[in-house]
Homo-oligomer: A and B are copies of this chain.
Amino acid sequence: MPDDFEQMWRDLAPVGRSASSGGYNRSPWDSAEVELRDWFVEACAVRGLTVETDGVGNQVAWWEGADPQAPGVLTGSHLDSVLEGGAYDGPLGVLSALAALDVLRARGVEPARPIGIGVFVEEEGSRFGRACLGSRLATGATTWDAARELRDRDGVFLPDAIDSAGLDPARGLMDLGRVGTFVELHVEQGRDLVDRGVAVGLASEIWPHGRWRFDFAGQANHAGTTRMEDRRDPMLTYAMTVLAANKQARLATQRATFGRIAVEPNGTNAVPSLVTAWLDARASSDDALATLVGEIERQAADRAGRDGTTLAVTAESVSGSVAFDADLAARLAGVGDWPVIATQAGHDAGILSGAGIPTAMVFVRNPTGVSHSPEEHAETADCLAGVEALADVLAELTADPA
């Protein structure tokens, strides 16, 4: 008898967790994340399922059902985390998929078509800067020729990171040809379900979002002897841009964040020569996002002119608006009494939807809305409600033959 949801959760809790901060560092292709994916292989084996791991680390295990040739229903999520992240973002979807399969079997359900449980690699983009890298590669949204040039913060090339995890991209990528429908369960990363007083909801859309690198260049100089009026200090331009981004996002009820920065030479007694910072921006439409980023860039460039610095902006990844499949949503609306809400977070579900696969998402209530943080949380009762909801969804979607 496989471990139940709560036991699986306890088993994974220590993996990649910082004892001091309580935060998770499950960086793709590093030891904690490799351990999690090995655990996934075991968890599937206990359930009589065989995991296929592709050349970059995406994984899928199929319960074949009555007709292995019929279009399958894939569910699952990811196991990597952001730096100092929480326990739920990703793993909740994978564990719930396994637990939902157990629920179906306990109910005596024999699916008419295959159910797959999948794990996508480097969903967060925390190491190589490209969110949903595994699903982007599997769908062809990103090519291997482009991805192979990516480097992490330590200068390690993506192929070397993958090789260090015992994988070989030459072995090919996950075959999505069997996937007729994708359903991803995920902890909610806002408070819509809290406000509505329910444990489970469905996703309507993902806001368009992206990452832009801002390089502010000035002139290194002595912090003590250089008169303030003689400086070309890019930290000033950066600081004003942070405040401008926040103000623009607030005014438009959108999102703009500078959470990552690298400074050269980063010495206490030197005016910096270069400040590189990454803008994460999200808005309710593609046009609104372009306007938001354009306005932040315009204000930054104006200030650079006054500071004697220069600005270069590079779009590192931009994901357009995703509206999840309307027919699928209508069908699921009959399964449970679930509200339908938008999310500002990117997900592998967005990538698969973009590749033309009918896709849905199930959200589980997060009492504080906090995410990408050690404080990210969901109550066990809500997690178990999520498992039941996912089982109901899978039963509905696999009840009929093709």
Residues of A with Cβ closer than 8 Å to B?
23, 82-85, 124-126, 129, 131, 188-191, 207, 209, 211, 219-230, 233, 235-236, 238-240, 242-243, 246, 249-250, 253, 255, 257-261, 263-273, 278, 280, 282, 343-346, 369-375
Contacts and interface: CB of A to CB of B under 8 A. Distances in A.
Nearest to A252: B228
Contact of A265 (B82, B225, B255, B371): B82
Nearest to A126: B267
24 contacts: A83-B265, A83-B267, A83-B270, A84-B267, A84-B273, A129-B268, A220-B374, A222-B345, A224-B282, A224-B344, A225-B343, A227-B255, A238-B242, A257-B269, A257-B271, A259-B267, A259-B268, A259-B270, A260-B263, A260-B266, A260-B267, A261-B261, A269-B372, A270-B372
Given A207-B224, A267-B82, A370 B235 contact: no
Contacts of A129: 268
Contact of A269 (B227, B238, B259): B259
Contacts of A131: 269
A221 B266 contact: no
Given A82-B270, A221-B371, A224-B346, 15 more contacts: A82-B269, A84-B273, A125-B269, A190-B226, A220-B372, A220-B375, A224-B345, A228-B246, A235-B259, A236-B242, A238-B239, A239-B240, A259-B263, A259-B265, A259-B266
B261 A373 contact: no
A373 B272 CA distance: 9
Chain B CB within 10 A, most for which of A189, A224, A226, A280: A224
Contacts of A228: 246, 249-250, 253, 255
Main secondary structure of the interface of A (DSSP, over half): loop
A373 B264 CA distance: 11
A182 to B, nearest CB: 20
Given A219-B375, A269-B125, A84 B264 contact: yes
Contacts of A258: 235
Nearest to A25: B265
Interface hub of A189, A223, A344 (most chain B Cβ within 10 A)? A223
B82 A255 contact: no
Contacts of A270: 82-85, 259, 372-373
Contacts of A125: 268-269
Contacts of A263: 259-261
A255 B343 CA distance: 45
Contact of A221 (B225, B265, B282, B373): B373
- In this complex, the member of A211, A222, A226, A250 whose beta carbon has the largest number of chain B beta carbons within 10 angstroms is A222
